[in-house]
């Protein structure tokens, strides 16, 4: 909750500014007071009237607005807030912040402040990937600016990739975590995420539709609560969480080795969709079509990483959590899985195509513990992650 918190919200000029309107509402719902600042470019995307109506406060727009200078002054405006949030943050404002430029109200406020600053970048994928933006990002992180997102996804410009602003609820969760207690400080938590790729030959592989979104959201939530996270990830669609120690892997066997290398841990969360089988007859040369018939693939079962860690006799993490992606009889299958693998909790969900959960932004989970099954309402993957992270924190104290 954000009662008694004043947030100076700077909206800069990107199409994601429309999400800034929802962000104001969400911050208000949680009790925050929002002082909005619009750049000139932001005014091309949202009107000052709609922003001030939602914020219930005057919109600040111009450095040389003398009334404002007399009323408050830009220095005081920047310092009277508990947090400065820049959402959306364009490549341009990031560049200005990294260089310490102050040629309009927004950049001047950011330079004049000693208040914590969070940014939610939003831009075209090429702008995000550009070495200049990545340089600025590193500079800002080094300067102590907290960065929320961006997410991967379809963009207004028709391209796909990282650069889409985090959803308002993800930003709110990061803001709440900023103000909230950090119960996981000093805890090491291992998270596996994403699919695995099991090679058939150097160019082909067997995989599954896991995007890595839920595991990534979970790692972000754990980090926000203060955990030191090792994030072992297969080739996911979404960018790995900032602030984690990221260990990229391809296959289940590599994932198992990375997990073992990352132990000991206070808790281990197995959100990866590990391939059950690998191709033992994988070729080191590309398979060719031949008149002699179709290739025959031979399979072997992959190691069950979750079961292995759950059943460790020495050095077992204090809490081991598995996931169960099912398409029918979710609770029954997941309850049996918990017993079979020996983990403490199972987070079960229905991934049949009609639910749109696999690869989507929402999730509806049932948490299976020794106390039985607890069905959570459908919510964003970020909200599932924060709720689960808080439960993990409660279990570890």
Closest Cα partner for 326 from 374, 378, 273, 370?
A: 273
User: By the 8 A CB rule, do 39 and 10 touch?
Assistant: yes
What is the widest separation between alpha-carbon atoms in the chain? 86
Q: What sign does the dihedral 321-325-329-330 (CA atoms) show?
A: positive
For residue 120, the minimal CB distance to ligand C5P (Å) is 30
Q: Does 206 bind ligand C5P (CB under 6 A)?
A: no
Return the number of the residue (61 or 337) whose C-beta is nearest ligand C5P.
Answer: 337
Residue 118's H or E segment, with its range, is: strand 117-121
Torsion of Cα atoms, 287 then 288 then 291 then 295, to 10°: 20
DSSP string, 303-355: P-HHHHHHT-SSS--SEEEEEEEESSSHHHHHHHHHHHHT-SEEEEEE--GGG
Return the number of the residue (107 or 302) whose C-beta is nearest ligand C5P.
Answer: 302
Return the number of the residue (10 or 384) whose C-beta is nearest ligand C5P.
Answer: 384
Return the number of the residue (116 or 342) whose C-beta is nearest ligand C5P.
Answer: 342
Q: Would you call 157 a catalytic residue per the annotation? A: yes
For residue 69, the minimal CB distance to ligand C5P (Å) is 57
User: By the 8 A CB rule, do 283 and 201 touch?
Assistant: yes
Stretch that binds ligand C5P, among 162-170, 240-248, 269-277, 356-364 (CB under 6 A): 269-277
CB count within 10 Å of CB 182 equals 15
- Of 173, 252, 366, 384, the one binding ligand C5P (CB under 6 A) is 252
Return the number of the residue (78 or 302) whose C-beta is nearest ligand C5P.
Answer: 302
Q: Does 274 bind ligand C5P (CB under 6 A)?
A: yes
User: By the 8 A CB rule, do 191 and 258 touch?
Assistant: no
CB count within 10 Å of CB 340 equals 12
150: left (phi over 0), alpha (psi -120 to 50) or beta: beta
Structure tokens that stand for 270 in this block: 């197995």
Cα–Cα dist 300/276, whole Å: 9
Q: Reduce the secondary structure of 192-228 to three states and give it as a string.
A: EECECCEECCCCCEECCCCCCHHHHHHHHHHHHCCCE
For residue 313, the minimal CB distance to ligand C5P (Å) is 18
For residue 149, the minimal CB distance to ligand C5P (Å) is 25
For residue 386, the minimal CB distance to ligand C5P (Å) is 19
143: left (phi over 0), alpha (psi -120 to 50) or beta: alpha
Return the number of the residue (252 or 262) whose C-beta is nearest ligand C5P.
Answer: 252
Q: Point out the catalytic residue in the list 75, 132, 157, 375.
A: 157
Site string for ligand C5P, 328-367 (x = CB under 6 A): ---------x------------------------------
For residue 393, the minimal CB distance to ligand C5P (Å) is 20
Stretch that binds ligand C5P, among 61-69, 109-117, 180-188, 266-274 (CB under 6 A): 266-274
Cα–Cα dist 128/175, whole Å: 22
For residue 144, the minimal CB distance to ligand C5P (Å) is 35
Q: Does 324 bind ligand C5P (CB under 6 A)?
A: yes
- State which of positions 291-320 bind ligand C5P (CB under 6 A): 302-306
- Total number of residues binding ligand C5P (CB under 6 A)? 14
- Of 113, 166, 192, 363, the one binding ligand C5P (CB under 6 A) is 192
Q: Does 231 bind ligand C5P (CB under 6 A)?
A: no
Q: Give me the active site residues, please.
A: 157
Point out which residues bind ligand C5P (CB under 6 A): 192, 252, 270, 272, 274, 302-306, 322-324, 337
């Amino acid at each position: 909750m954000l009662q008694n918190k004043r947030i100076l919200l700077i909206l800069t000029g990107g199409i994601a500014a429309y999400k800034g309107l929802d962000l104001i509402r969400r911050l208000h719902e949680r009790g925050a007071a929002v002082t909005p600042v619009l750049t000139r470019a932001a005014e091309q995307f949202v009107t000052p009237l709609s922003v001030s109506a939602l914020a219930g406060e005057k919109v600040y727009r111009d450095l040389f607005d003398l009334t404002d200078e007399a009323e408050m002054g830009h220095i005081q405006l920047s310092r009277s807030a508990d947090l400065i949030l820049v959402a959306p943050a364009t490549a341009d404002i990031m560049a200005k912040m990294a260089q310490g430029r102050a040629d309009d109200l927004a950049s001047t406020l950011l330079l004049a402040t000693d208040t914590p600053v969070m940014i939610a970048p939003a831009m075209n994928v090429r702008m995000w990937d550009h070495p200049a933006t990545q340089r600025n990002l590193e500079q800002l992180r080094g300067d102590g600016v907290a960065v929320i997102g961006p997410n991967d996804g379809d963009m207004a410009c028709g391209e796909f990739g990282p650069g889409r602003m985090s959803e308002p609820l993800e930003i709110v969760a990061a803001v709440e975590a900023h103000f909230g207690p950090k119960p996981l400080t000093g805890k090491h938590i291992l998270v596996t995420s994403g699919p695995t790729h099991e090679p058939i030959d150097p160019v082909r592989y067997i995989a599954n539709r896991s995007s890595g979104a839920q595991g990534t959201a979970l790692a972000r939530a754990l980090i926000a609560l203060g955990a030191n996270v090792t994030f072992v990830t297969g080739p996911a669609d979404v960018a790995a969480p900032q602030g984690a120690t990221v260990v990229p892997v391809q296959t289940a066997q590599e994932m198992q080795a990375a997990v073992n290398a990352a132990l000991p841990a206070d808790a281990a969360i197995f959100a990866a969709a590990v391939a059950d089988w690998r191709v033992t007859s994988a070729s080191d040369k590309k398979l060719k079509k031949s008149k002699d018939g179709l290739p025959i693939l031979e399979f072997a079962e992959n190691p069950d990483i979750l079961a292995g860690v759950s059943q460790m006799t020495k050095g077992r993490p204090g809490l081991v959590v598995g996931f169960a992606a099912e398409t029918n009889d979710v609770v029954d299958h997941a309850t049996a899985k918990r017993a079979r693998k020996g983990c403490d909790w199972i987070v079960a969900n229905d991934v049949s195509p009609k639910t749109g959960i696999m690869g989507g932004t929402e999730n509806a989970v049932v948490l299976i513990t020794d106390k039985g099954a607890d069905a959570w309402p459908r919510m964003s993957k970020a909200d599932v992650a924060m709720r689960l992270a808080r439960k993990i924190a409660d279990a570890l104290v």
